[in-house]
Structure 1
């Protein structure tokens, strides 16, 4: 069960952010700890992660983007729980990564520190975060992000194996002429560099087989 104090702090932080997000068309979903906005292809969101440490909490903001067409194909081949599929995301990344940091956690212990954390998050969203969400809710831009350098890790992705799955789907949906080459590159990356379990590799191979026969018509 989640710590009650942490949950209370999260609610207080969310209350401070609701007016800001309302202006941009986002709705607070407390059960998912996120502000969400529907898009033509899925949704974008800002997730609040609050961890309790005694008399204070650490707050971190993440950005999330879901492209329905990608998730409807990719998710069943991943290790995600079936009940989570409607809320799964094509990309989720700490807001701090847009500013060159691996993460940024704000300590919240009183009203003043809560106000400071909220002000910092708002400023970062206005500077880069909201533009990022709008740009990469596009299938074409998300494909460019995932597939521009297939031989390298995607810095914004939490899970590099899941990146391989979704990158292959993105390449097929466009469709890209180099789909087969990309599929081979990601398969090799899963096998030789990430060294995923045999079951995960088998799921990837089944996904590629599905995509090779996939038609959007």
Structure 2
């Protein structure tokens, strides 16, 4: 649900708004993100600060939504109705992208976010924006989610959702891996959840995809 922003967040967004606007990203302050609408869905950059007595830690995540994938996925996932239109198909933190999975920006209370903003702007100019542009298609999402189906995927935090969205992307991309992924993700979902209701939902997705035509 939308939340009020702290003075720190308001100041942070003020520093970054023009930079992201120049690249066609609009601020959605209540969702703590900048978002760019694309032909296939959207791309976004999300800010997640944690406030402690002597420091502020800021995690920054970025990713894409592919509408074709999500229109199917949200029929089977247990997301709340108000979240479904805002769900990402892929998402990764700057730290994970840099192979520094525990990285967070650290500031002292009252410290200016200028150095943080400079690093964020440099990252997106050099890598982030191009990565988002290159990974918004069904074909790219199939590669991101399914290139190593027996390993955790760093482009989604929820590995159960990875099973659903990976299988959908493979089907939409007419991947020759599709049949093998059914068995792989069926096994993985059972291992992860031990939940008969979750497994039933996944079987319903499989049945849907086997009778679904992207055309």
User: Scaled by the length of structure 2, what TM-score is found?
Assistant: 0.92
Measure, in 1, the Cα distance between the counterparts of 2:58 and 2:112.
11
CA distance 1:147–1:98, change in 2 (3 Å): same
Cα RMSD of the aligned pairs, angstroms, is 2.0
**Stretches of structure 2 lacking an aligned partner (at least 5 in a row):** none
Runs of 4+ aligned structure 1 residues displaced above 2 Å come to 1-4, 54-57, 107-113
Superposed CA deviations along residues 19-60 of structure 1, whole A, max 9, x for unmatched, are: 111111100000111000011100000001112213542211
Superposed CA deviations along residues 126-163 of structure 1, whole A, max 9, x for unmatched, are: 22211111111121111111111112211232111110
Number of equivalences:
215
Give 3-state SS (helix, strand or coil) of 2:74's partner. helix
Deviation larger for 201-210 or 105-114:
105-114
Deviation larger for 84-93 or 171-180:
171-180
User: Which structure is higher in helix share?
Assistant: 1
CA distance 1:2–1:55, change in 2 (3 Å): farther
Measure, in 2, the Cα distance between the counterparts of 1:187 and 1:171.
14
CA distance 1:105–1:131, change in 2 (3 Å): same
Which residue in the other structure is 1:92 paired with?
Answer: 91
Give 3-state SS (helix, strand or coil) of 1:77's partner. coil
C-alpha contact 1:107 1:113 (8 A) present in aligned 2? no
CA distance 1:52–1:112, change in 2 (3 Å): closer
**Stretches of structure 1 lacking an aligned partner (at least 5 in a row):** none
CA distance 1:110–1:53, change in 2 (3 Å): closer
C-alpha contact 2:28 2:34 (8 A) present in aligned 1? yes
Does residue 200 of the first structure (1) align with residue 178 of the second (2)?
Answer: no
